[in-house]
Homo-oligomer: A and B are copies of this chain.
Amino acid sequence: MSTCEESDARAALKRSVMTRVPPLLNDLYQFSMAYAYWRADRHREPAVFELFFRDNPFGGGFSLFAGLNDCLVFLKNFAFSDQDVEYLRSVLPANTDPDFFSYLKELDCSSVSVSAVPEGSVVFARVPLLEVSGPLAVVQLLETSLLCLVNYASLVCSNAARFRLAAGPRCRLIEMGLRRAQGPDGGLTASRYTFVGGFDLTSNALAGRLYGIPVAGTMAHSYVTSFSSLAEVWPKTLTPSGGGSGIDFISLVKGRLSAVCQLLGSKAELIREGELAAFMSFAIAYPHNFLPVIDSYSVSCSGLVCFCAVALALCDLKYQPLGVRLDSGDLCRQSLEVRRVFKECSKQFSVPQFESLIIVGTNSISEQSLAELNKKDNEIDVIGVGTHLVTCTRQPSLGCVYKLIEVRGRPRMKFSEDPEKSTLPGRKSVYRLLDTDGHPQMDLICLSEEPVPTAGVSLNCYPLVTETSLQSITPAQVTSLRLDVFTCGQIMYPISSASESREQAQNSLQMLLPRHKKLQEPHNYTVAVSERLNSLVSDIRRGNSKDNNFLLLN
């Protein structure tokens, strides 16, 4: 993108994120721990955390990673205000050392570094997506905000990718979930990351302005029902597209309506006058952009008939009507009926443009209903999705976690009462092993001091989750999955625009083999650990490591 666009994108990001993520938007226990570290003079000890999720969402075979831009801007601007610190003073125990609050006032992320998977990458469960290193107290304080910024962004982005797969490549997808999101910023985040995940448009005007996402939208039922009579149509004339004097639009439409009724066998007495008036008025306001919602009363008895009459009148004046929206009932069946009528009109009235009118469908679309719809015959060109997309009904949380893996160069590990809640200790490198065609074959997690795997050379590893037995693989190509994105307080990675992130996500998805992208019962993608990492885990479990040792009472 151009420098100007880049600075615009950055400014937009900064503006939106800075007001949204003050570092006090944090779990109190992070401050409790930070003080305990400070009190024990451990706050400056070098520590490393990892961010990952434990299962691919929606029963799927993959996820998309998103939220990195927000994380970087958050880290760059991390600082407590005096009011924040005074508030913390009021809620931490009274005997907390006052010097701790002076320490908080001076905190920033200038000693923090992050390596991360690029925004918009296909990722898998248990792969560390972010590695955050820096002073123990500071990196601890970052946990909640980083999780908050990655969790929903990645979840809704992955959900959008599944809707995209369910819809097939032909259908255009509009996100329109603002009113059903978790408040204003939930809605903004949803618009941004569903676009990254593969949606084409949003109804959210602010998302359009801030992130450059194409916006769309014509009318709601309220517009239609606000009209009751043709007397409300004003102005009553419309100038032809090529210019000239205004034509009496009402008479023109009425003439067309009689012809349409005759063609379709419609009963004029079942046509709602208000609906016809609404369509006329909208056509006069938007002669180049006529796309009304046609089910406020009855599609076949009134809405569709009125549309055809008004659209034909527009054609008479050399305007090109756009299409219709269906917002209730059986969308497939109705779209077939609507297309049939468009084709009849096209033939009868010699308006070939009627064949390619757009049919938009919006009616509580879920991933499942979209997949079913896509299997049936239908004539829907554009689908609008709200609630199920932005709330991620099937699984409304990704469950990312942020776990300590190293302190002062020593690997750390959590066991817990639930084995699946255990963590992988030590600082790591993550490699994506590709086949000869560049398709991802396996993600391999190694200790960072291990040599980089070599293309064409066999290596042994232990797949996570699925099996525990040793497996051998010879990668055709080896890529490093993470990049250094933030180094000692500086952003080292270009803040990408929404459309750049979208391109990255779609390319990344394109390279993933179809068997991993199946919406139902996908083939498991292998995530494995190196032999050395596997040994370290075993050693620590057995208490054989000097770093998670058992107590020797003396």
Contact = CB atoms under 8 A, between A and B. Distances in A.
Nearest to A74: B184
A205 B21 CA distance: 12
A416 B296 contact: yes
B93 A553 contact: no
Interface string A76-94: 0000000110011001010
A480 B217 CA distance: 38
B387 A184 contact: no
A206 interface: yes
B270 A550 contact: yes
Contact of A181 (B182, B229, B548): B182
A234 interface: yes
19 contacts: A26-B178, A28-B208, A29-B203, A33-B220, A33-B223, A36-B219, A36-B281, A84-B209, A87-B205, A93-B288, A136-B226, A140-B222, A148-B180, A153-B183, A221-B404, A222-B412, A228-B547, A329-B417, A393-B397
B40 A234 contact: yes
Contacts of A235: 39-40
Nearest to A229: B549
Chain copies in complex: 2
A161 interface: no
Contacts of A187: 25, 148
Contacts of A436: none
Contacts of A402: 222
Interface string A182-221: 1111111110000000000001111011000001111111
Interface stretch (A271-279, A339-347, A464-472, A509-517): A271-279
A385 interface: no
A245 B95 CA distance: 17
A179 B151 contact: yes
A404 B222 contact: yes
A295 to B, nearest CB: 5
